[in-house]
Structure 1
Amino acid sequence: MTDNTTLDELAAQESTLVFDRFDDDTAWAVGVALRDEASAAGLPVAISIRRNGQRLFHAALPGASADNDGWLERKSAVVDRYGHSSLYVGEEFRAAGKTFEDSSRLDPSRYAAHGGAFPVIVRDVGCVGTIAVSGLPQREDHRLVVETLTTFLGRHDA
């Protein structure tokens, strides 16, 4: 993903990476897939998967810190509020010549429109949760989630 990723490309990811169902076992399997991918690459990330506000999976790899947990919460709060990936929301503000921090009127200690949180979208239901990564530059956090979901959904009857 390049720095010039368009809103259309980000929206296409969201419309493509859709689950048929998302239960506790699915959350665990996605979390393990993300952790395995990050661990194999030696990435210092924290991972969180939530459904309806309940954390179903959390992992912190070597090099991640408690600060990453705060970022996970703030990015996930953006997805919960807007129903789009945290990168999409940040890009939407930037495309309008604004910053999320100045224009959203939301508390920056609770919301961060930085890449890395992605909506858990269930077919015929909508957004039911978040899959989030923190520890890398925002586009790399986003890419890790998208690439892992692409592989996961291609392998599983999700």
Structure 2
Amino acid sequence: MSDADIVARLEVELARLVLEHFDHNDAWALGCALVELAQERSHPVAIDIHLGRQQVFHAALPGSSAENDLWIARKRAVVELTGEPSYLVGRRHAAAGTDFHELTGLPVRDYATHGGAVPILVRSVGPVGVAAVSGLAQADDHALVVEAIEQMFEVGE
């Protein structure tokens, strides 16, 4: 699949991931759902959910490391800047043949356009937080977050 095809698929996916509500209780439930999915599959991931600027859920599963937390922070920074999934931002730049860091002037140490951080979007409100995973290949990090959101909130195709 080409980067342009991936971008098109991710844009459609993002449009359907708009929720009716999201609060602290939802963040906890989403975090627990992510932990359960990751444990069932023996994924060595770190999981993080922010509501606004507040970290409201964090888990580090066996095999994950502090480096995963750094990746989460960098991916989350991209989502907070753009309001879009970090994977979509990265694939969009790949498809265009551009470099996010060169275009924005933002440092690599603080921003990562790798998959795994997804905005929490609420209808009539916009982005209210970020759900992120790190520890797998970037497409798999992204897919795990999307799967948990779709299951928990019964959104999707």
TM-score range, shorter chain: over 0.9
Structure 1 stretches of 4+ moved >4 Å? 2-5
SS of 1:63's partner is coil
Per the alignment, residue 24 of structure 2 pairs with 24
SS of 2:128's partner is strand
Cα deviations by residue, 1:129-154 (Å, 9 ceiling, x for unpaired): 10000000100100111111111111
Letter in 2 for 1:125: V
Equivalenced residue count is: 154
Q: Which moved more, 1:101-110 or 1:30-39?
A: 101-110
Per the alignment, residue 53 of structure 2 pairs with 53
Per the alignment, residue 84 of structure 1 pairs with 84
Structure 1 distance, partners of 2:84, 2:94, is 15
SS of 1:48's partner is strand
Q: Which runs of 5+ in 2 are unaligned?
A: none
TM normalised by structure 1 equals 0.93
Identity over aligned residues, as a percent? 45
Per the alignment, residue 133 of structure 2 pairs with 133
Q: How does 1:1-158 map to 2 (within 5 A)?
A: 4=3, 5-154=5-154
Deviation at 1:13, TM superposition (A): 1.3
Structure 2 distance, partners of 1:103, 1:95, is 15
Deviation at 1:3, TM superposition (A): 6.4
Q: Which moved more, 1:138-147 or 1:99-108?
A: 99-108
Letter in 2 for 1:50: H
Letter in 1 for 2:73: E
Cα deviations by residue, 1:75-99 (Å, 9 ceiling, x for unpaired): 0000000010000100111111112
Letter in 2 for 1:39: Q
Structure 1 distance, partners of 2:99, 2:140, is 20
Aligned Cα root-mean-square deviation (Å): 1.4
Cα deviations by residue, 1:51-89 (Å, 9 ceiling, x for unpaired): 111001000000000000000100000000001000010
TM normalised by structure 2 equals 0.93
